[in-house]
Amino acid sequence: MSISREDVEYVAALARLELTEQETQEYTEQLNSILGYAAMLERLDTTDVVPTAHAVPLHNVLREDQVGSSINHEKALRNAPDGEEGFFRVPKISLT
Amino acid sequence: MVVANKYEMVCGLEVHVELQTKTKIFCSCTTEFGGEQNTHVCPVCLGMPGALPVLNREVVNYAIKAGLALNCEIAEFSKFDRKNYFYPDLSKNYQTSQFDLPICGKGGLEIEVDGEKKWIGITRAHMEEDAGKLVHSGDTITTSNESSVDYNRAGVPLLEIVSEPDMRSIPEVLAYLEKLVQILEYTEVSDCRLEQGSVRFDINVSLRPMGATTLGTRTETKNLNSFSSVRRCMEYEIARQARVLDAGEKVVQETRTWDEGQGVTLTLRSKEEAHDYRYFPEPDLAPLVIDREWVERIHKTLPELPEARRARLQVLGLSAYDAGVITQSKALSDFFDAALSSYEDAKTLANWVMGDVTRLLNTNQCSVVDSPISAAQLAELLGLIDKGTISGKIAKSVLEDMYSTGKDAGVIVKEKGLAQISDEGALLGIIDDVISANPQSAEDYRAGKDRAIGFLVGQIMKATKGQANPGLVNKLLKEKLS
């Protein structure tokens, strides 16, 4: 499997990244090298191996349904670039 | 549905249900509706870097419960995934949802339309977090230069229930939705307050030529929150697609939005530019292993579902229609059952519950759970009629007094002296007076005019202010005149 320039441009667009010509070239090579490394796994027989859902062998980490404390407006909005009357404010939303 | 005998419609639905937990799915913020903006938030539901989610056990319990009530397979192994998209209704740029290993697998429910029964398949149901609310500065999202965001709802637990494309008419769609919401209400996994957005519907619909076996191109209309919007939206969208096809054009596969004011669906985004969500396993949450004991434990908490209740009420003598009305809402059905535990005649009880009790509640815009007349009080009132203490007519006015005062029926009857006169001696005296005051009517009756007795009974009831036992009056009067 190899990554084409188009793949890199597509993924960059999904991630809202604007890449220069040189960066596109660079990432195409790097991504191919990473996938090439991971492709070593294909040489192993994984017939009876269960797909990994999580890297840590844990399950059912749950919490009881008890209300705890929330934070207030000022704290919630302290890091926000823009806000008004307790709302976060975001610039024009583009749907495409 | 046949559109001008040319097309058949095919419809599948996605239903988002807010689960009735006290806290959000991954943090301990309250799920309470309608707080001041951004006050039910914390670093987890605001997506602050480094904040870690922990799954609410009750969300899993409710999801299993809903799944069982909808005949779904419950997964033994389930996990969460990140659904990546950029939209400010979630602050993390992804929604924590479930992709390939949802908690509930295949299931379904039976609907009935015009006496025809039909099974509607459920493909799956999965847990996910709800998004925040956006308020746009302009009229619509596309004409707004900025939007305000309230994250109080972000992280409220949702169960998304996906149906198979099994529905072929608008009545089938509405029957499926009504049944689904009713089951969710009975299992108490959601408050099912549609007007507050607790349940939201996405409609996938396509048309195909009559007799075709392959599916036509579908559109998805998102975020409807009432049955009437679903009906209107579908009528519009089916007619629109039929016009497109009639003109020899192709339906564009796209996501649409319903404009309630204008009564039209509008393009939201086309599928070509739709997001590739790049799902991947959520590394911050451990997977779920659901052993059968857990499922069994939840199974034991399932209440009697509407269908079973209807069947039971029909065995007790109610018509299918009456049983349907009583079980329409869990609250009314519970009220009926509570009264039934101390009053045996189900048919009479049903008439009172559906008639006078419902009318009083409706007139006062009161819900049955807040009814000032308890089920036990209603049962006592009906018992007084059966014992002959009061007539059915008097009972109606006693019921109204019970509603306004909250007093027991027996107390009101005593205080107001409403007890029926069933003392033969007392009644005979009155009957003699009435006969001597109306000799002509008595004569008419004796001459074979049966109707004349009605007048005499009326006079006796008038003389006793409606308190004479009508059955007894009839009997005594006939004996007297024969």
Q: Dihedral of the CA atoms B248, B252, B255, B256 (nearest 10)?
A: -30
Residue of A nearest to B32 (CA): A67
Domain annotation covers residue A6? yes
Angle at which helices B470-481 and B424-437 cross, to 10°: 60
Domain annotation covers residue A78? no
Query: Do A89 and B149 lie within an 8 Å CB cutoff?
Result: yes
* Domains contained in chain A, number: 1
pTM of the model: 0.84
CATH of the domain at A17: 1.10.20.60
Domain annotation covers residue A41? yes
Domain annotation covers residue A32? yes
Contacts B41 to A, Cβ<8 Å: 70-71, 76
Per DSSP, the residues of B218-266 read -EEEEEE-SHHHHHHHHHHHHHHHHHHHHTT--PPPEEEEEETTTTEEE
Contacts B86 to A, Cβ<8 Å: 16
For residue B282, give how far its alpha carbon lies from the nearest alpha carbon of chain A (Å).
8
Domain annotation covers residue A40? yes
- For A42-86, the pLDDT digits (tens) are 899 988 988 888 888 899 999 999 999 999 888 899 989 999 889
Q: Is A53 on the interface with B (CB under 8 A)?
A: yes
Walk along chain B (482 residues) and give the pLDDT tens digit of each residue. 555 679 999 999 999 999 999 999 999 999 999 889 999 999 999 999 999 999 999 999 999 999 999 999 999 999 999 999 888 999 999 999 999 999 999 999 999 999 999 999 999 999 999 999 998 877 766 677 888 999 999 999 999 999 999 999 999 999 999 999 999 999 999 999 998 899 999 999 999 999 999 999 999 999 999 999 999 999 999 999 999 999 999 999 988 989 888 899 988 876 545 568 889 999 999 999 999 999 999 999 999 999 999 999 999 999 999 999 999 989 999 999 999 999 999 999 999 999 999 999 999 999 999 999 999 999 999 999 998 888 888 899 999 999 999 999 989 988 887 887 878 888 888 888 888 888 888 888 888 888 888 888 888 888 888 888 888 888 888 888 87
Domain annotation covers residue A86? no
The first and second tokens of residue B16, run together, are 């988002």
Which of B22, B27, B28 has the most A C-beta neighbours within 10 Å, making it the best mutation to test the interface with A?
B28
Q: Is B30 on the interface with A (CB under 8 A)?
A: yes
**Across the strands, what pairs with B251?**
none
Q: One-letter amino acid identity for A94?
A: S
Query: What domains, with CATH codes, occur in chain B?
Result: 2-294 (no CATH), 306-415 (no CATH), 424-481 (1.10.10.410)
Contacts A54 to B, Cβ<8 Å: 79, 281, 283, 285-287
3-state secondary structure of A88: strand
Residues 6+ apart with CB under 8 A from B479: none
Sheet (strand B94-97) strand order: B94-97, B81-84, B280-281
Domain span holding position A16: 1-45
Query: Do B38 and A61 lie within an 8 Å CB cutoff?
Result: no
The first and second tokens of residue B372, run together, are 């000032």
Q: Is B281 on the interface with A (CB under 8 A)?
A: yes
